[in-house]
Each structure stands twice: as C-alpha cells, then as structure tokens.
A and B are shown apart, each in its own frame.
Chain A
C-alpha cells in the first residue's frame, strides 16, 4: 500500500494534544504561500470553508463543485443546528462533555484525539459564524439561543430556524465569494472530478469534466483536498441531494487511498415515509422536532383508526417507555431501530404500515401553536407540501431513511490520507463520528475541518513541497486523462436497453434490504453475489443517450452509478467482516437480550481501512486495521435508559 496506517496522534494528555501539535507543526511563511496551488473539491461547509480560509491565508486555491453555484452544495439542506460547548445555558456543558457525548454516541468507534479536537474548536466556529453574519436564533436579551438534540442531556445546539445548514453555508459561501473577488480562489462550478492524479506517489492533481461543455481537463496542484461529502445515495433513496455521489472518494480509493468503515451509514429516524414507486428522494424532518414532538404507535397491531380516535392509554410512546432518561431524544441509530421494530410488529401507521407518529399536540397545548410555528414553521410547511397534511392538526408520519455516512476515506490526525498530499475533510473522511453521528455534529465537523483544522495541518505537508508541482503535461496526467476519456466513450457506446436510473434504483433497493438498518451474514452474502451481476449487466446493457462533448445529465449519472455499483460491494464486504454490532451497524447475530447493538471490543475496536485490489472476480480488497486506543474514556455498553 501507499504510505502507512499511522494516525500521527500527538503524544501527551488528551486536552493538550491539539495545542502541542499546533505549537510544533511546520508552517509556510506568508510570502511562500502564494507559490502553492491547492485544489479543493467540493464547496459545502468543509470545502467552502477550507477554500475561503486557505485563500485568506494567501494560498492559490482552485475550488470545484458539480452544482451551478458553490452556494448550492448539499450542506445547505441541514436543518436543525450546530453543536458547540459554549455552556451558555449554564446546564453543565463543557468541551469534555461534548467530546464524551460524541465518542459515546459513535459507539466507541472513533478516535479520541480527533473527537476531542473537534469539541475544542467548536466554540471558535460559533464565534466566527456570528462574525460572518450568520443570523442565529436569539433570545429577547440579544444573546444566542440554544436547543437540545439527540444523545445529549444539555442544550448546546445553535440554530437558525430550520435552516441552519443554509445559513452556515451562506456564511462560508460569502467568505468564498470574497476570496474569488480577491483573486486567491478560482471557482469551477459545474465541474466534476473524475480522477485523482498521483506523481511519484503524491497527490498532485485531478482530472475534471465540465458538466456544461463536456470538456475534460487536467489541473495540477501541490496538494489536493477532497470535501466531496458522503455516499448515502448508493441507496438510491436517501435524504441526500440527487447529485451527491461517491465518485471523487471512490476514484481516490482506486488510486490507493484507503477507504475506512464504509459500512457505517446513518439511518435518520425522522423522515417523511416513502410513498409510491416514482419517488426520487426522501425528505428529512429535523431531529430538533423531537424536542417537542412525541413519538408513538398504537399498542395494538393493525390498528387502522385515525390518530385522534386512539385514546391515550392505547398509544405506545415507545421511546419514552424504553429510554426514560433520553426519551424522544434518544440517538439516531437507536430511535431508527426502535421504529423499524414496532413496524415489523405490525404496529406501523400510514398506508404502507412503514411509519410512526410524531405528535405535537402536547407541545401545542403547553406552549401554543404560535411558538411551535416559530420554532419549526418551515418544517411543517415542507411536510404539508409533500404529504398534503397539516401537522398542527394531526401528527406527522415519519420513518427512518438513509441520511449520512460516517465512513469515508481514512485520514490521519492532520486529515491527510495515506496518499501524501491527499487531504480529506468533512463527511468525506471517516474520523470523528464512529459508528453513529449525533445530531448537529455534521455541521460542526465540516466547519471545524475547513476553518480551524486543515489550515493548521495542510502546511505540515506543504512545507516540504516547494517547487514540486508537476506540469499538467506530465505523463501521469496524460494517462489519467486518457482513462477518463476512454471510460466516457465506453459509457456512451454501450447503447443497451436500460436507463441509468433503473440500475441505480435496483442497487439501492438491494442495499436497503441487505445492508440497511439491520444486516446479517446471509443477506450480505446474497448482496455480494448480486452486485457483481448487476454491474456486469450495467456495462452490457445501459443506455446513455447523447454525446460526451455537451451538457449530458444521463452521462453524469451513468459515471456516478458505475462507481456506486463498485462501491456497494466494498460496503457489504465491510459489513460482513465487521462481525459485531455497533452504532448504526446492526448485525442481527449480535444483540443484547433487549435488542440493542452488542459490540465486541476485544476483536473490533479497530478502524477497518480497505485497500483497493480490483473488483469482484478480480480480487477482494485488502483489509488494514488501525487499533483504536482509548486513553481517557472507558468503553461501556451504551445506555440511554
């Protein structure tokens, strides 16, 4: 493999590691920064923040996104909020507590040092975003307001109505716009990365395709930063935007970057249930709703009465019953599984029987409809648009859906992958959320990486790289460009009988069934026989109309689905190899007597980092294991009872 699996965690006490690391890290002096070219792929919270901040520091940055504007990156859809350890509520919060909640919430499958650093810089993020003009919710005295989120017993979540992601992204986007105007950042919207270029084992550039003109181009740099988000769309139906994809990280994996814990996917408990066959995506209803909404199903299986006709004593508020200390704010993996369980028992609601109620009647009685409207108005509005139902009058129907992926490219403490020069930030890396992410922590991590971590750790690599940027006519660029062209030509020439979407849908449903909320050996083995067949059929029978040198949405999707068809196999292999349950990875063979995830710390307190060897019949990926060392926390059976 390229490089080593060294996490480069600084020595010393946990609370001092980041400070010590910063004190001793290599720097690039201001007059040398402009000699460096840095590529940032992705313009969401992580990528947008990183590109803007590196630009502010004086580096030359090229930033790429597939959207038509960096402001549309999918971070924009995050609703509920962003965590920080400010303890403004005087309710016992601290950096340590945020760290501990995040490690525990991740079911002890993330690195202590990375998570502690995340908690440490969380407060800087709030300061910075306020200064940028993010209109966070305020109290009447003018101070910042907070609310509660799952998996925590303190109120540490900052929010901007139900549009926190949008407002934080606009903050990063505005900072990015400032740098674009200043000339430090060159922005390439509607441009997709199709390959990573390695020169002498270092990441030194990328190959892109313009989604408008179809032009394929090479870009050289001194370092490459991937901030390309998660791979939830491998399931076809998810809360991700339609364009979200695994291509950038998967291409890097095929060039030798290790992919860590790909089976760690988050199923969010509160989404609008699937209705009908043509549904193209699922819509989240923010977890913040569980501050005021109560989750329930009828006690009796098959009870088809309307919710109002079911008297209190015939309702099962199952989260409050099973997890009295956290109640409706139990973490996402636990709440999702509980919903699946009651639906499997035939107590689900709605036409399909795959749904549970999220009921605001008590909250409306307690604080009034106006207050609820102020807190969640836009969410109730989205709900009504999609379902045609008024949630002020009848409970929402919700069901779990794929939402986030904790797995991602393996990175060390400097957020660099095993390939020197290739850095990975935000959802695209694996490092901070373990096997389950807590609510309001994705925004925190994306911005932490972009504003306050990468700007300190990137120079560690760059300092030794002055003058080493290769020209784009280097043979490695030519080779990668030819490969991208050949692949595009191949996709267009198959001219089979099936659409790209039909393959994507088929793959997604298979994964949801076999590698979704619950997994078992038999199902995973079945998936592993089906996926290569599906892939073979894709390359034989897909139909991609149009040509390569033009705006061609079918071709864009075909490339992404082709990568999903390979990546899905890696996910299932990872899920099969991790023979324990932890967080969102629930192996049915491993559960406690009351149906909770049963970890096996003795054998699996490791990061699984996979090295590409070829797909399917060629060779299975090679497993490397990074043992997780816990110096501070004690591994316990996670309990929210």
Chain B
C-alpha cells in the first residue's frame, strides 16, 4: 500500500508549525500506524533530515504514551484503541492521512507530535489516591467488596491516562479523565473516608489547569481507548454536588 501523509511539524513550543507532506510507500497492511511512521523516519534519517518526533512506548495500548490525532480523530479510526493499535489495513490504498498532535490548551506542545500532559498528573496529585501507608492495611479479605461494585470500579480504573478525552473535546474538558479516577475510588469501600475532599480537590485542580467544561458532546467517550463510559461524568457531577453541599453544611 502507499499513502500521502500530512504531518504536523513544529520545532519547539514557540516556533510556528505547519503540515508537511511525506510519502509512505510499500507499506504492508499488517504494519501498525506507528511502524509506518518508523519507516518514514528511517527514510528521513537516510536523507539527513530530522525524523518526526512522536511519543510511544508499550505499543500495545496500555501505557497511554502515544498521542496522535489521525485524520482529525484522537487515536485514529480504530476505536476503542490507542494510536499504537491502529493498523494500516484500516486505511484505503493511496489515501491521504493527516497526522497532528493531541491539541488542548493544557497540553503545551513540545515538538512535532509530542505534547506535555503533566496537567493530568497534577489532577491526581491533588487527591486522586487513598491515603494508605505501606504496612498499615488490614487483612485483604476482611473488607468484602460486592463483585458488581468491584467490576464498576475496575471499569473506571481502566483509564490509561492518555488525554484523548481532552484532545477530542471541543472544550478541552478533562471531565472523563477526572470522572474515571474519582469513580474508581468512590465505588470501593476503601475510598469512602476521603470521598468528599477527593472530588472537590480534583475538580479544583482540573479547573486550575485550564481544562474546559463538559457540554455533553460525548467526543471523549467516542475516542476513549479504554471505553470509559460518559455516564461517569454524570457520576462525577453528582459526587461533586453532594461533596459541595456537605462542605457547605460544614460536614
């Protein structure tokens, strides 16, 4: 197969960027999208040019490092899945493919297709944890968790922290990300003591990072590689409302 690529190139955070055209030739349909970019990069190095900078690590959809917007879709056409799980058999031979970084104001660009997503870490640092010191835990089976609750917690905990939700959202909202973390811990008995403060702190941090608000367009859910349900955003809103009321009532 062969493809025409239009790839976002930008040398530094402040330099102007633009789409640059490249050809990808003799591509096997069983090549992954990132491997196709590897081959293009090998060609660029051979010509003495700078290769395209893009992020990836595990290349099996779990680490959340890869962050490409392919033909306008965060993580490309093969949902649910990360960009590293997109294979070239998904595209038509001869197709033009536009490759851009994840774009959201709280994700400043580093180079070409690489952005800084540390804003997501800071939301977790604000309260996305259970304060449990190593060595202080009770026997694991002493607290029962109904399977249904454990499953719901697991579904929320599956978030890979890639930031596609914010990149796909017209408002650059990170509500799905925050909702996933808040819900993961709120569904579990161990998460109850800090439930109120956790959601308040995380939402405050999310707003401070400059992420926008949710206006129910559900682009986040559509591109989420971990199939996190947008219904968790409603849960986040409920958690936040109840926590705010409790806080106001002085609890």
Instruction: List chain A positions with a Cβ less than 8 A from chain B.
Output: 49, 52-53, 56, 67-72, 74, 76-77, 86, 88, 123-124, 126-133, 135-144, 160-161, 163, 166-167, 170, 173-175, 177-178, 180-181, 187, 189, 212, 241-243, 275-276, 278-281, 283-284, 382, 385-386, 388, 451-452, 455, 497, 499, 501-502, 543, 545-546, 550-551, 553-554
Contact = CB atoms under 8 A, between A and B. Distances in A.
B207 interface: no
Interface stretch (B93-101, B140-148, B208-216, B229-237): B140-148
Given A130-B137, A133-B185, A212-B110, A276 B58 contact: no
Contacts of B147: 138-140, 142
B190 interface: yes
18 contacts: A130-B137, A131-B137, A132-B129, A133-B157, A133-B188, A135-B187, A138-B146, A138-B151, A140-B147, A143-B141, A167-B154, A181-B125, A241-B58, A278-B35, A278-B36, A279-B35, A501-B38, A553-B53
A135 B153 contact: yes
B53 A551 contact: yes
Interface in B118-150: 118, 120-121, 124-141, 143-147, 150
A549 to B, nearest CB: 11
Contacts of B64: 71-72
B121 A69 contact: yes
Contacts of B133: 56
B46 interface: yes
Nearest to A244: B57
A281 B59 contact: yes
B140 A141 contact: no
A86 B59 contact: no
A342 B187 CA distance: 48
Given A136-B150, A280-B34, A543-B48, A163 B39 contact: no
Interface residues of B, number: 79
A517 to B, nearest CB: 22
A76 to B, nearest CB: 5
Given A69-B120, A142-B147, A174-B129, A546 B63 contact: no
B51 interface: yes
Given A67-B57, A166-B160, A124 B62 contact: no
Given A76-B63, A132-B190, A142-B150, 16 more contacts: A67-B63, A68-B118, A71-B121, A131-B136, A133-B153, A140-B147, A160-B157, A178-B125, A178-B131, A181-B127, A212-B116, A275-B30, A284-B60, A388-B87, A388-B89, A452-B135
A67 B145 contact: no
B184 A161 contact: no
A451 B116 contact: no
Contacts of A546: 50
Which among B89, B111, B135 has the greatest number of chain A C-beta atoms within 10 A? B135
B48 A69 contact: no
A72 B110 contact: no
A503 to B, nearest CB: 12
Which among B81, B127, B137 has the greatest number of chain A C-beta atoms within 10 A? B137
Given A126-B140, A138-B147, A177-B129, A550 B42 contact: no
B81 A385 contact: yes
B32 interface: yes
Contacts of A74: 57-58, 63
A128 B42 contact: no
Nearest to B12: A550
Interface of B: 12, 28, 30-32, 34-36, 38-39, 42, 45-46, 48-51, 53, 55-65, 78, 81, 85, 87, 89, 110-111, 114, 116-118, 120-121, 124-141, 143-147, 150-151, 153-154, 157-158, 160-161, 184-185, 187-188, 190-191
Contacts of B38: 278, 280, 501
Contact of B146 (A126, A142, A160, A189): A142
B125 A177 contact: yes
B136 to A, nearest CB: 7
Nearest to A88: B141
Contact of A452 (B50, B53, B134): B134
Contacts of A77: 58, 60, 62-63
Given A131-B136, A138-B145, A178-B131, A76 B62 contact: yes
A273 to B, nearest CB: 11
A144 B55 CA distance: 37
A241 B57 contact: yes
Contact of B190 (A76, A133, A388, A499): A133
Contacts of A550: 12, 111
A131 B81 CA distance: 30
B40 to A, nearest CB: 11
B159 to A, nearest CB: 9
Contacts of B160: 166
Given A142-B145, A241-B59, A385-B61, A177 B111 contact: no
Contacts of A123: 140
Contacts of A163: 62, 158
Contacts of A88: 141
A280 B59 contact: yes
B144 A143 contact: yes
A188 B135 CA distance: 26
B134 A130 contact: no
Contact of B134 (A86, A128, A143, A212): A128
Contacts of A388: 30, 87, 89
Given A132-B132, A133-B184, A135-B188, A189 B78 contact: no
Contacts of A130: 137, 140, 143, 190
B157 A276 contact: no
A83 B250 CA distance: 44
A280 B32 contact: yes
Which among B63, B110, B128, B131 has the greatest number of chain A C-beta atoms within 10 A? B63
Contacts of A452: 134-135
B78 A545 contact: no
A141 B161 CA distance: 31
B60 A283 contact: yes
Contact of B58 (A76, A499, A551, A554): A76
